A and B are shown apart, each in its own frame.
Chain A
Amino acid sequence: GESVGLHLPTLSVQEGDNSIINCAYSNSASDYFIWYKQESGKGPQFIIDIRSNMDKRQGQRVTVLLNKTVKHLSLQIAATQPGDSAVYFCAVNPGLYGGSQGNLIFGKGTKLSVKP
């Protein structure tokens, strides 16, 4: 089955700097990847997603990079702001051949702290 790991449980950055949060997955058949943000006391909130036929996708101040060769996913946040402080989760859908299309495997999360 799929397993999702995170490189760092916590990350502290200075306001205005760029943040990079990393994630690794195990199943090469996984075909859909998502990043979620969870603020204290709230449910996870979708940030950005990417499918396996892409290696980069950009949103507003965020970029997701997918390296299928090494099964690695990263989230880059440009010009990090205090409002970006939260726990960030990557999630992986193992896909039709890796499991079930309805199954979503989450990493354990990285807590991002932004220093003013």
Chain B
Amino acid sequence: EAQVTQNPRYLITVTGKKLTVTCSQNMNHEYMSWYRQDPGLGLRQIYYSMNVEVTDKGDVPEGYKVSRKEKRNFPLILESPSPNQTSLYFCASSAGGGGAYEQYFGPGTRLTVT
């Protein structure tokens, strides 16, 4: 089954404790992206990757890091999480050369930073 998987689905952590949210897709998609979703603000793009070893900032990249060493994986790293990073995070992927194609979203990761 074609899908985007994220782990963990729920995470509660404390300020400053480094964490990684994994994202994997099995569709051989070139493009992958991370979003955060907050009430009243909708979905905002954090980082995206057009292909392996190619990453770029979205609209809200501060406090996040990403890497794309393999085509299927695109982990999101919070080196020193803060409470304002409490949010619902979605990973997405699409075929082709960028965001200009249908994106498939993962189920989401709900992160709480205390």
Residues from 14 to 73 in A contacting B, C-beta threshold 8 Å:
31-32, 34, 42-46, 49
CA distance A31 to B45 in the complex (A): 18
Q: Which residues of A contact B56 (CB under 8 A)?
A: 100, 102
Number of A-B contacts (CB under 8 A): 68
Q: Which residues of B contact A42 (CB under 8 A)?
A: 107-108
Q: Which residues of B contact A93 (CB under 8 A)?
A: 98-100
- Contact call B44/A106, Cβ cutoff below 8 A: yes
CA distance A106 to B58 in the complex (A): 12
Q: Which residue of A lies closest to B106 (CB)?
A: A43
Q: Which residues of B contact A102 (CB under 8 A)?
A: 31, 33, 48-50, 56, 98-99
CA distance A106 to B33 in the complex (A): 13
CA distance A100 to B33 in the complex (A): 13
> How far is the CB of B96 from the nearest CB of chain A, in Å?
10
- Contact call A89/B43, Cβ cutoff below 8 A: yes
Q: Which of B41, B44, B58, B103 has the most CB of A within 10 A?
A: B103
Q: Is B59 positioned at the interface, with any CB of A under 8 Å from its CB?
A: yes
Q: Which residue of A lies closest to B48 (CB)?
A: A102
CA distance A83 to B21 in the complex (A): 31
Q: Which residue of A lies closest to B55 (CB)?
A: A102
- Contact call A103/B99, Cβ cutoff below 8 A: yes
Question: CB within 8 Å of B: which residues of A?
Answer: 31-32, 34, 42-46, 49, 89, 91, 93, 95, 100-109
